[in-house]
Amino acid sequence: MDDLKSTVDMMISDDYKERFKAEYHQLVIRLFSKGFEKFS
């Protein structure tokens, strides 16, 4: 998963496990894209 757009299909799934995985991937993407810029 490289960007938030890649998690859209998982977020609209009827399966709560898939939505949870998508939320986790979104969190990781946000941390790596925004969080670590502060330390650079």
3-29 pLDDT, tens digit each: 889 999 999 999 999 999 999 999 988
Query: Residue 37: which pLDDT band, with cuts at 50, 70 and 90?
Result: low
Q: How far apart are CA 38 and CA 14, in angstroms?
A: 36
Range(s) of the domain holding residue 25:
4-39
CB 18 within 8 A of CB 26: no
Q: From CA 3, how far away is CA 22, in angstroms rounded?
A: 11
Whole-Å CA distances, 14 to 10, 33, 38: 9, 28, 36
**Res 38 pLDDT > 80:** no
- How many domains is the chain partitioned into structurally? 1
Between CA 23 and CA 39 the distance in angstroms is: 24
Q: One-letter amino acid identity for 33?
A: S
